[in-house]
């Protein structure tokens, strides 16, 4: 086995020192943000990476088509990642995790472009995991109990989520969040996210038009209803609840 220092010396040319993460232990493991586990070279070239979809592009059809996923993930989501990396290159933010970038740039007028792109990267990554093939149905027992305690019933919770998604004027997001011991529904415009309001996101519904327009045109209600009935990932929400 090569000595850790020999490994580092042999690969030193592959790294930009301004973007190098700290090393943990003698093995020289890169400590990346919790969002991504990238190879060393990829981390140096791309501080924030586009995470892989948790399923094939066709897996959510017919509720959400492969064509929509292809544009939404491959163009919009990827575009936010690319823009963010250009904006933070050579700045102290290049060494932060994605979540830290979102929080550090929130409410800073001079960092509005960084926030918008970083938050959209985070929101979209969260959205893909809020959905799953064969989703919907009855939530797991532990989540169901919390939903009943907070909303009176699972159906009421779903109705409030649908209302938030429908009530968001223009582009934005509907969220199921934990606020202390209680669950509640909220919505955010554009790139805004509950992360900056000290709330714990559990799942989200993207109501930007690019999320549904190829499949549903102006029928946002049909998209939201189908998503809640057939795709929502209650297990992901429970995992986030902790």
Q: Which residues are annotated as a binding site?
A: 72, 124, 206, 210
Q: Is residue 189 a contact partner of residue 223, using CB atoms and an 8 Å limit?
A: no
User: How many angstroms separate the CA atoms of 34 and 224, rounded?
Assistant: 30
With residue 115 as reference, give the H or E element that holds it: helix 112-129
CB 240 within 8 A of CB 202: yes
Helix H segments across 36-90?
40-45, 66-71, 78-88
> HSE-up of 214 (CA within 13 Å, CB side)?
14
Spatial distance between the Cα atoms of 94 and 191, rounded to a whole number of angstroms: 20
Tell me the C-alpha to C-alpha distance, in Å, between residue 149 and each of 130, 140, 235: 22, 14, 18
Helix (H, G, I), strand (E, B) or coil at 203: strand
Q: What is the number of alpha carbons within 13 Å of residue 124 lying toward its C-beta?
A: 28
Q: Which residue ranges make up the annotated binding site for Mn(2+)?
A: 72, 124, 206, 210
β-pairing verdict for 172-179 and 200-206: antiparallel
Q: Contact, 100 vs 115, CB < 8 A?
A: no
Return the closest-CA partner of residue 25 out of 5, 45, 44: 5
Say how many Å lie between the first and final Cα of the chain, rounded. 40
């Amino acid at each position: 086995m090569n000595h850790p220092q020999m490994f580092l010396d042999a690969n030193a040319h592959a790294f930009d020192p301004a973007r190098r993460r700290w090393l943990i232990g003698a093995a020289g493991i890169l400590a990346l943000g919790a969002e991504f586990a990238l190879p060393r070279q990829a981390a140096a070239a791309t501080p924030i990476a586009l995470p892989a979809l948790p399923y094939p592009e066709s897996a959510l059809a017919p509720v959400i088509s492969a064509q929509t996923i292809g544009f939404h993930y491959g163009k919009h989501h990827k575009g936010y990642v690319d823009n963010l990396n250009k904006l933070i290159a050579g700045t102290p933010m290049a060494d932060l995790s994605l979540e830290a970038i979102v929080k550090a740039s929130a409410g800073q007028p001079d960092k509005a472009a960084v926030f918008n792109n970083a938050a959209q990267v985070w929101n979209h990554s969260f959205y893909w995991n809020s959905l799953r093939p064969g989703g919907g149905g009855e939530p797991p027992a532990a989540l169901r109990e919390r939903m009943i305690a907070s909303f009176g019933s699972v159906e009421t919770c779903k109705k409030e989520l649908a209302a938030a998604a429908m009530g968001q004027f223009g582009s934005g997001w509907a969220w199921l969040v934990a606020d202390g011991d209680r669950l509640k529904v909220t919505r955010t415009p554009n790139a805004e996210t509950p992360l900056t309001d000290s709330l714990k996101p559990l799942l989200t519904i993207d109501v930007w038009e690019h999320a549904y327009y190829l499949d549903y045109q102006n029928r946002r209600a049909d998209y939201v209803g189908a998503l809640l009935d057939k795709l929502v990932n209650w297990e992901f929400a429970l995992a986030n609840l902790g």
